Structure 1
Amino acid sequence: MTSRFTELVLDCHDPERLAAFWCAALDFKVIDRSEGKVEIGSWEPTVEEVRARQMPPTVVFIRVPEGKAVKNRLHLDVSPIDSTTDDEVTRLLGLGATKVDVGQGAGRNWVVMADPEGNEFDVLRTLAPSTG
């Protein structure tokens, strides 16, 4: 017997707003929505595909009444695929992200950011092909 990692769920105040931010950030699309819940992903999962092999998980935003209180114990890492890390940070700032300090210190090769509701995530090294 085994399980599959199928969804990452984030509690939030505004599922539509966070889904829109993360769809723009990751080039995902909304694949399901209902009252107080929005699911996004890079693909539309089927039971058959999930049973056959591990597929990328979807991200589900669920409305909750309480706010974020402390640093996340789980966060997303993203890597730009067609730009520099600095250019991606600038793009994400334009989408509504902010830079945050969670005690990471200076001189790191990643940038800690927060989405529009304050959930931390890291922008890592670029995966763009080298042009030099």
Structure 2
Amino acid sequence: MAHTFQVTVDCTDPHPLADWWAEALGWRREPSDEAFIRRMVAEGHASGSDTTTHRGELVWAEGAAIVHPDGTMPRMLFQRVPEAKTVKNRVHLDLRVAPADVEAEVARLVAAGATELHRASQGPHRWVTLADPEGNELCVS
């Protein structure tokens, strides 16, 4: 049986974090359906407090999604939760680049707001563990 899935990231501020990850991965934000949002509010299925404006666009306040440019990868959803991250992630993304590009990719992500946490290796495999602007771990290898 075929299954599809999305990767969901809990966060305190979904729209800026979705922007950060879209830039990090070279993906794009999923477009907002402003007409649908306005209709849901007008019909009483949602309230104005369920929405916000991000970069001039009416969006749902509780979440933002990014998608691969050609739609071949699972969607990533960033959803608002009330608490900040406090412990190590049980699941994280590994961003794989050519071995010669690891240092440049780490530098790019750190310049964009990531924090380098540590470097590790196992046999011939090497990776750098970073944290995104809200502290979620990711590895570059």
* TM-score normalised by the chain length of structure 2: 0.70
> In 1, are the aligned partners of 2:120 and 2:126 still within 8 Å (CA)?
no
Partner of 1:9: helix, strand, or coil? strand
Instruction: Return the alpha-carbon distance in structure 1 between the equivalents of residues 13 and 136 of structure 2.
Output: 13
Higher helix share: 2
Partner of 2:30: helix, strand, or coil? strand
Partner of 2:84: helix, strand, or coil? coil
What is aligned with 1:63? 80
Q: Which runs of 5+ in 1 are unaligned?
A: 46-54, 125-132
> In 1, are the aligned partners of 2:121 and 2:127 still within 8 Å (CA)?
no
Change (3 A) 1:8 1:32: farther
What is aligned with 2:23? 24
Equivalent residue letter for 2:3: S
* TM-score normalised by the chain length of structure 1: 0.75
Instruction: Return the alpha-carbon distance in structure 1 between the equivalents of residues 103 and 63 of structure 2.
Output: 32
Instruction: Provide, for residues 8-29 of structure 1, a one-character-per-residue CA deviation record: whole Å limited to 9, x for no partner.
Output: 0001011111111111111111
| Superposed counterparts of 1:75-94, under 5 Å | 75-80=92-97, 84-94=101-111
What is aligned with 1:51? none
Instruction: Note the C-alpha offset of 1:2.
Output: 3.6
Instruction: Return the alpha-carbon distance in structure 2 between the equivalents of residues 84 and 24 of structure 1.
Output: 17
Identity of aligned residues (%): 38
Instruction: Return the alpha-carbon distance in structure 1 between the equivalents of residues 68 and 98 of structure 2.
Output: 15
After superposing on structure 2, the runs of 4+ consecutive aligned residues of structure 1 that deviate more than 4 Å are: 104-108
Structure of greater Rg: 2
Aligned length: 112
> In 2, are the aligned partners of 1:32 and 1:38 still within 8 Å (CA)?
no
Change (3 A) 1:59 1:83: farther
Higher strand share: 2
Q: Which runs of 5+ in 2 are unaligned?
A: 33-59
Instruction: Return the alpha-carbon distance in structure 1 between the equivalents of residues 70 and 80 of structure 2.
Output: 22
